[in-house]
Amino acid sequence: MQPVIVRVAAAVEIGVPPAAVFALVSDANAKAKLNPFIQVIRIEREDHGPLRQGSVTFFRLQKGTRIFEYRMRCVRLEPGRLIESEAELPNLFTVRVEVGPAPGGSRLTQSEECEVSPQMLEDLPITRRAEHAWRLMKILNFLLPELAHETFAVIFRERTDALRVSMRRELQEWLLAIKAHVESGDDSRRAGRADSRPSTDAGWR
């Protein structure tokens, strides 16, 4: 089966200047800790100084019972406006974060693109019947691939659609958590010294 790519995006308007928003989203640890769907185990920059193109950050995160480890490389940086990152994984995973002015403050947009793996399709909010069908098809696809191929492909697409909806909902809630945090004033006081500590951008995804 050809690789299946999922693309999601979300945006939120925040009532503070872009500099304060960018200070947070360029701090990987601070940003990830605001994601209500993951627990940060360890986030560490592998280079020193201000974030720059080529900077690499190691992530060890937990979501539910699963633990994820990966590295994100900053492949494009426009200070104060844009960060693009790519995961150093066999499968495609990219994150693009944009901060720009908006009436009353700023607008934060995050776009993600990833190649779907079977592991990503586990633990989705679906019916028990659909879950049993998915498990059966995984077994048949392994034992009798020709017999199960078409049915498996249909179920795979259905679960991929559910994954896309779930990813977008979680991303939107993450951005809303960032909005609430920044508007509370905690980060507006830190914007001026954001360049003094190691940072990069990425979530678990």
pLDDT band for position 20 (50/70/90)?
Answer: very high
The pLDDT, as a whole number, for residue 137 is: 59
pTM for the structure as a whole: 0.75
Mean pLDDT score of the chain:
81
Residue 108 above 70 pLDDT? yes
Residue 153 above 80 pLDDT? no
Once rounded to an integer, what is the mean pLDDT over residues 160-169? 87
The pLDDT, as a whole number, for residue 157 is: 73
The pLDDT, as a whole number, for residue 94 is: 96
Domains of the chain: 5-117+174-196 (3.30.530.20)
Residue-by-residue DSSP string for the chain = ----EEEEEEEEEESS-HHHHHHHHT-HHHHHHT-TT-EEEEEEESS-SS--TT-EEEEEEEETTEEEEEEEEEEEEETTTEEEEEE-SSS-EEEEEEEEEETTEEEEEEEEEEE--GGGGTT-S--HHHHHHHHHHHHHHHH-HHHHHHHHHHHHHHHHHHHHHHHHHHHHHHHHHHHHHHHTTTTTTTGGGGGGS--------
